[in-house]
Amino acid sequence: MTSINELYKRLESCDICPHNCNVNRMVGEIGKCGTNSSIIVSSYGPHFGEEPELVGYLGSGTIFFSGCNLLCVFCQNYTISHCREGRSVSINELANIMLRLQDIGCHNINLVSPTHYAPQIAQSIIEAKSYGLAIPIVYNTGCYDKVETLKALEGLIDIYMPDLKFSDPNKAKLYTEAPDYFYYASSAVIEMKRQVGILVVRNGIARRGLIIRHLILPDNQSDTIEIIDFIAENLGTDIYLNLMDQYYPRYQAYQYPKLSRSITTEEYSYYIDYAKSRGFRNPKYIFGYG
């Protein structure tokens, strides 16, 4: 198993994510994610817009990291991902943010867009745990992740929450900076399940396991049927599946005719019905259903 020190050293010729930029982020060089070795946090605090099992009564302790290795043209948080708003924090400061969120009662630490900061985040988690961090860690990722990086995080992450996107490489090339997206994402999500298994919920609060999100795009631009089939056939229908209906055009989406509208109620119902037909029958596994 790769040590955290070995993971951190990989920033010197960065291959943390599938882009394999091979830039030396430790001396200030910048990869496709738009960041060097400095951790840039946009904001943090209790968040109540997540899945009920994460939110509970006191919120999910969400930390929004700046930059992104996908850079979707329809990004709902483009000022964070593309414009990289935020401020630099040290390993120690990030650990203290986690502890502060625990102290105010958050049910978990929810790391949003963590992939390009995986080594720094790992060190912060270890430091925070040494000072008493005990709530679950959620890895909230766009899923353009390398299996070897995920393996280095094993034991530190309690809940993986990938947003599993399109399977068609042509769509990935058109809408993101990752034309090989599904090649890596499909392997990554299998590794995530191997590490944490299906979702375990105690007293209404998620403790460990896999939550798969899938943002439905209009005109089948998200390959939703194919994604549902992949999950059913490779991960099983007892996986917590959140088919998200909240897409609306943002950032550069209006430049792409098929992305220039929200999805319809009919579209959403069709995909919910299809998920049911594949065996996703327990309503808690399909967010918004039932």
**Residue-wise pLDDT tens digits, 50-90:** 999 999 999 999 999 999 999 999 999 999 999 999 999 99
pLDDT computed for residue 289 by the predictor: 40
Per-residue pLDDT band for 118 (boundaries 50, 70, 90) equals very high
34: Cα separation from own chain's centroid: 17
Mean pLDDT of 7-19: 97
pLDDT confidence of residue 85 = 95
Q: What is the pLDDT of residues 176-195, one digit of tens each?
A: 999 999 999 999 999 999 99
| Residue 277, pLDDT above cutoff 70 | yes
pLDDT above 80 (res 254): yes
C-alpha 19/C-alpha 5 separation (Å) is 21
Q: What b/e sequence results for 35-48 when a residue is b if at least 16 CB atoms lie within 10 Å of its CB, and e otherwise? A: bbbebbbbebebbe
- Rounded CA gap, 45 and 108, in Å? 11
CA distance 188 to 149: 9
Average pLDDT, the chain: 95
Select the more confidently predicted residue: 1 or 130: 130
Residues 254/244, Cβ–Cβ less than 8 Å: no
% pLDDT > 90, the chain: 94
Residue 3's pLDDT is 79
Please determine, for residue 285, whether its predicted confidence score (pLDDT) is greater than 70: no
Q: Selecting from 2.60.120.680, 3.40.1010.10, 1.10.760.10, 3.20.20.70, what CATH number does the domain 4-285 have?
A: 3.20.20.70
pLDDT at 38 over 50: yes
User: What pLDDT was estimated at residue 34?
Assistant: 96
DSSP lists the bridge partners of residue 215 as 244
Q: How far apart are CA 91 and CA 123, in angstroms?
A: 7
pLDDT in tens, 147-157: 999 999 999 99
DSSP for 46-79?
EE-SS-HHHHTTT-EEEEEES--SS--TT-TTHH
56 token code pair:
């509970």
Quote the CA–CA distance of 26 and 8 in Å, as a whole number.
Answer: 9
pLDDT at 127: 97
pLDDT tens per residue, range 119-139: 999 999 999 999 999 999 999
pLDDT at residue 2 in the model: 57
Structure confidence at residue 287 as a pLDDT band (50, 70, 90): low
Confidence of residue 4 (pLDDT cuts 50, 70, 90): confident
The CA distance from 212 to 221, in Å, is 18
The per-residue pLDDT for 284 is 54
